[in-house]
Amino acid sequence: MGLMGVVGWKRLECPVMVGGRAVLWGWALLCYTWCPRSSGATAAHFSAGYVLDDSGGLGREFDGIGAVSGGGATSRLLVNYPEPYRSQILDYLFMPNFGASLHILKVEIGGDGQSTDGTEPSHMHYENDQNYFRGYEWWLMKEAKKRNPGIKLIGLPWAFPGWIGRGENWPYAYPDVTVYYIISWILGAKKYHNLDIDYIGIWNERSFNSTYIKLLRYTLDKQGLQRVRIIASDNQWEPISFSMMIDSELHRVIDIIGAHYPGTKTVADALATKKKLWASEDYSTFNNEVGAGCWARILNQNYVNGNITSTIAWNLEASYYEDLPFGRSGLMTAQEPWSGHYVVDGPIWITAHTTQFTQPGWHYLQMDGHLQRGGSYVALTDGLGNLTIIIETMTYHHSPCIRPPLSPFHVSPQKATFYLKGSFHKVKTLKMWYTKLGFKSVNSTLFHPLPPVKVNEGVFSLNLDVDEVYTLTTLMTGQKGTYPDPPPSKPFPTNYKDDFSIYNPPFSEAPYFADQTGVFEYFVNNSDPGDHNFTLRQVVVQRPITWASDADQTISIIGDFKWINVTITCDVFIERLGNGGVFIAGRVKNGGIYVRRSKGLFFWVFADGTYQVTGDISGKEVLMKGVSGVRAREWHTLTLNLRGSSASGSLNSYPLWENVTISETSHGWVAIGTRSFEFAQFDNFHVEAS
C-alpha cells in the first residue's frame, strides 16, 4: 500500500531524476526495504521526503494565473453594482496582495452573438461602423490595469458580426476581412483606452485556419504590434500541435498553444513544439468547496502532469443571472447589483495561494511532482533567492471539475519532509498560508496565515491532512484582504421601471437587461424629440457568425427567474416595414446557449397589423392570433398580464386578447425582443410581480 516509517534526510542526498524532475523514490524504496516499521502503523505515520534544488537549472517559465470575462456576458451584472461594492469586487479580483491578485485578464472580443450566457456587443456591428465604447470589457480591462498595471490582457472572439462572412457563417471565408476586424479591436483598445493587448486568440473552441493565423501575424507586425503574441487554438491540443509540427511557418507565428479543459494532461506533439503550453480556459465549476478543490488541484497539477505554465479560469466572476447556463461558475459571485450583495467564494482564496507569492517571469523548479500519499507540490523561484512552494492534498470526491471526467485516486494523511538545496539551502524560515476545505458540517478555513516554518539546515517537515492547501514562501507579502460585509441578499425588485432617459450613459446597455440574442443599446431618437427621445434599441440586423445556437429572433431578459404572476408594460416601435415585429414576454424559461428553445408566454405584434400569442420564442406554439391594427414606425403600448393559469394582453390600454390558458406552475424571466434581426425600439418598460 505504500511506504511506512520516516525517511532519514541524511540518506536522501541523491534524488533520482525522472523526466527532468528530481524525486526521492529510489531512496524511499530502499527505506521501505531497510527501515523497521510496526505492523500497526497508520497512514498518519507515513513520511516521505522531497528535494527542492535549483543547482541543476530551472524548469519552465511561469506565465501566470488568470480568468475570463466573457464567453459570454459573464460580467454583465457587475457594471450595475453601486459603489462602494463594485470597487470592492474589483479589488478582490485584481488588487495585488489582497484577494485573487490575478496575473491575467482574458476578455471576449464581442461579436453580437450568443457565447454561453448572453451576447456581447461588437465594436463593429456593421462594416462601416466602429465604436470602442460598447459593452463593458473596455471598462473592466481599465479597472484591472488601474489596480495592477502589470496585469496581462488577452482578447479572443467567440462570435463575429455577420458582415465579416459576406453571407457565410464562417470567419475564414475572407481572412483579410477578419484580420482587419481583429486588428481594429487591438488598435482601438490602445487609441481610445490606452490599453496594450498582450495576447490575441483565434476563434474560441472552433476550427483554426493556418492562412488566417499567418496573415494575422504578418499584419500585427506591419502595424507595429510585434509585442502582441498569438495563442492557438483555444480548443484541444490537437490538431493544432500536429499542424505546427508539419508547417514551419505556422510553428513560427504561434507563440503559445492554448488548450481548454486539458484534465492536467498534454500530448507528445504539443511538447515536441517546445512552445509554451497553457490551459487557456479551465475550471468552469460551481464555486462551492468542491469547485475550490477542483481549482486547487488543477492549479498545481496542470504543471506537474502537463507542463502547463498558465491556467485561466472560466469565469472571472459570476455576474449573470444564476439560472442561466453554468450559474455561479466564477471565482466569486456578484449577481445582485440591485441589492449590492456579493460573495467572496473559496476559489478566490485558492487563487491567492499562488498569485500572491509568484509573478509571471518566475520559473518552476525542475523538482515538483505528486506526494507519495496523494496530492501534489510545485515550487517556483524568481531567480533572486526567493522561493514559493504550493502543496495541495485534494481528494477525489472533493475536487472534480465540470470537465473532463476525473479518474479515481486516493489521498490520505501524510508527513512530508522537504530538503532545500542549491541557493535555497540557507533559507531559515518560510512564511506559511493555509486552507482547509470543509465539507458536510465543517466550515472551511480559507487562506489563513500560520506561524512561520523554521528550516533547519535546509530541512523542514509538515503533517498534511486531506483537502488542504499550503503556501510556504520567502516573501513577506501576502494579505487576506477584507471589507465590511456587503448588504444582505435580496430578490430582484418586484416593481421595476426604466424609461431609458439617460444622458451620456456610462455603458451601452440598460441596467439588468441581459441580451440573449441580438444587442439592445441606449439610443437617442432624434426623429422623436418628445416622449420617446431616449429609448432602448435592438441594433443587430444581420445574423452573426454564430458560436452557439442563437435564436432567429432577438431577446433580452430581465428580472427574477422565480416570477410567476407578472404584469409587463412596454412602449414598442417597429422600424421594419412589411414583416417587422416585436414582443414582450413572461415566464421565459431558457437563455444562454439554450435560448433557441426558450419557452414562456410571448405577446407579439407585427407591422402587417396582426398579433400572436405563443408559448415559445420560435412562434411554433401559437395560442392565439388576430388583428391588432399595429403599424410600423408608430409607437404602441403593449401590456401582458400573467396570473396563475390565465394570460391576457392589452394594446394601447385597451384589451386585445384574454383567457389564454397557460401552465400555472411555469415561471421565468420577463423579456423584450424582435421577430428577426431588425431595428426596433422599446421605451417606458415596467414590470410588477406578485
389-445 pLDDT tens trace: 999 999 999 999 999 999 999 999 999 999 999 999 999 999 999 999 999 878 999
Q: 11 pLDDT exceeds 80? A: no
Q: Give the whole-angstrom CA distance, residue 438 versus residue 413.
A: 16
* Averaged pLDDT, 326-346: 98
- Asked whether 506 and 547 are in contact (CB, 8 A), the reply is no
Q: 664 pLDDT exceeds 80? A: no
CB atoms < 10 A from the CB of 456, how many? 9
Average pLDDT, the chain: 93
> What residues are labeled active site?
205, 281
Q: Give the whole-angstrom CA distance, residue 657 versus residue 119.
A: 33
Q: What pLDDT is stored for residue 111 in this prediction?
A: 98
Please state the φ and ψ torsions of residue 36, each to the nearest 5 degrees: -70, 145
Distances (CA, A) of 389 to 52, 98, 462, 466, 472: 9, 19, 12, 17, 5
Strand partners, 643: 646
Q: What pLDDT is stored for residue 423 in this prediction?
A: 97
Q: What pLDDT is stored for residue 45 in this prediction?
A: 59
List Cβ neighbours of 654 (8 Å cut-off, separation of 6 or more): none
Q: Which three cell numbers stand for residue 16?
A: 533520482
Q: What pLDDT is stored for residue 326 in this prediction?
A: 98
The sign of the dihedral angle between the CA atoms of 286, 291, 294, 295 is positive
Q: What pLDDT is stored for residue 30 in this prediction?
A: 26
Q: 648 pLDDT exceeds 50? A: yes
- Asked whether 419 and 365 are in contact (CB, 8 A), the reply is no
Q: 613-620 long-range CB contacts below 8 Å, 24 or more apart?
A: 613/647, 613/649, 613/657, 613/660, 615/662, 617/551, 617/553, 617/555, 617/585, 617/588, 617/673, 618/551, 618/552, 618/553, 619/553
Percent of the chain with pLDDT over 90: 91
Q: What pLDDT is stored for residue 528 in this prediction?
A: 81
Q: What pLDDT is stored for residue 523 in this prediction?
A: 97
SS3 85: helix
pLDDT tens track for 182-238: 999 999 999 999 999 999 999 999 999 999 999 999 999 999 999 999 999 999 999
Q: Give the whole-angstrom CA distance, residue 609 versus residue 600.
A: 23
Q: What pLDDT is stored for residue 47 in this prediction?
A: 85
Query: In which band, very low, low, confident or very high, does the pLDDT at 44 lie, cut at 50, 70 and 90?
Result: low
Q: Give the whole-angstrom CA distance, residue 322 versus residue 342.
A: 13
Helix (H) or strand (E) holding 639: strand 635-643
Please state the φ and ψ torsions of residue 26, each to the nearest 5 degrees: -60, -55
Q: 282 pLDDT exceeds 90? A: yes
Q: Indicate the Cα dihedral angle 50, 364, 294, 65, nearest 10°.
A: 160
pLDDT tens track for 12-43: 223 333 333 333 333 332 232 223 223 333 44
Determine the Cα angle at 322 with ends 324 and 284, to 5°.
Answer: 75
Three-state SS annotation for 261-288: CCCCCCCHHHHHCCCEEEEEEEECCCCC
pTM of the model: 0.94
